Amino acid sequence: MEPTMDLSMLNHFFHISLTGEADAVTTVPATDLLQKEQMDAIIQQSSTLLKATGTELAASFVGMAFFGVCASVQLILAANNRFLDLSLDNLDFQIDMHDDHIHGCFKIRELKWKDAPPDAEDREAWLVAELSSFYASQIRPVIQSAAVSAGVKPDLIWAQYGARMAFALEYVEGIEKRTDVLERFRQDYQTLARLVPADTFERRKNPFEHKPRYIDSPSEAGKKLMMRSSCCMYDRRENGEKCYTCPMMLPEEREARRIRIEASRDHKTEHTA
């Protein structure tokens, strides 16, 4: 087994690395998050650090940290044709302060993986089994734990995953020059979204089965923005407001925000001209 693997993209986007964060304010074994007392403490600490007005934002924070784990599995599958071991017992969960916000981070204890079968047909069946087991035994339990401690439904977290993974696909399509890697990412995305059974997630629909919707960007003419598949709860904090791409934002709210953003953009243009 090779001793190294390029995890730079995982660290850059999802704060997942072999070294972890040296100055993290909290570090716990990821398996401890399945214990209600420990998850209660994480939800409370996250709420405090996020200056949240309730527990919904903290649940979303933990859930989005674990989305990074999910996306990282797909990235390594595409780049290396390997299923990276990001199981709970191979991770430490960290909360790291960064200026005025926090990150959910992970330290990988040991770099290990399973190689994918060389035959395409065998690979698809293998991947369905691996992904189903990964989500049922690793991701679903920790999402349920966060939801219980926060007093919310797991759907608050799961419903965000569709657009997040669709955005990851669009990002990879925009930067990846290796055709084999890009094709694997696309195929594996479809395997995850269409072939992993919905009951794996204890939902009526696979959360990754999602058709993106787009709106015009208020800050860059001609650019489209992907709508989120669900609210991230970032408005549930002191002086918080919904994201421009939030599906919960009313049309009149978005129009008022658009006018405000465009006015600010035009003002900056005047001062830099």
**Residue for token pair 């006018």:** 259
Q: List CB contacts of 49: < 8 A, sequence separation 6 or more.
A: 25, 95, 97, 102
Query: What does the pLDDT look like over 117-144, one tens digit per residue?
Result: 988 889 999 999 999 999 999 999 999 9
**64-104 pLDDT, tens per residue?**
999 999 999 999 999 999 999 999 999 999 999 988 899 99
Q: For all residues of the chain together, what is the average pLDDT?
A: 94
Which pTM does this prediction carry? 0.93
Strand order through the sheet with 101-108? 16-17, 101-108, 91-98, 26-29
CB within 8 Å of 248: residues ≥ 6 apart: 231, 242
101-116 residue pLDDT tens: 999 999 999 999 999 9
pLDDT tens digits, one per residue of 193-235: 999 999 999 999 999 999 999 999 998 888 999 999 999 999 9
Phi, psi of 115 (to 5 degrees): -75, 140
Map residue 165 onto helix, strand or coil. Answer: helix
Report helix, strand or coil for 111.
coil
> For position 98, what pLDDT does the model report?
85
pLDDT at 28 over 90: yes
69 CB neighbour count, 10 Å cutoff: 24
The neighbouring-strand residues paired with 82 are 115
Q: How far apart are CA 66 and CA 104, in angstroms?
A: 8
Please name which of 29, 71, 48 lies closest in space to residue 160, comparing C-alpha atoms.
Answer: 71
102 strand-pairing partners? 97
pLDDT band at residue 269 under the 50/70/90 scheme: very low
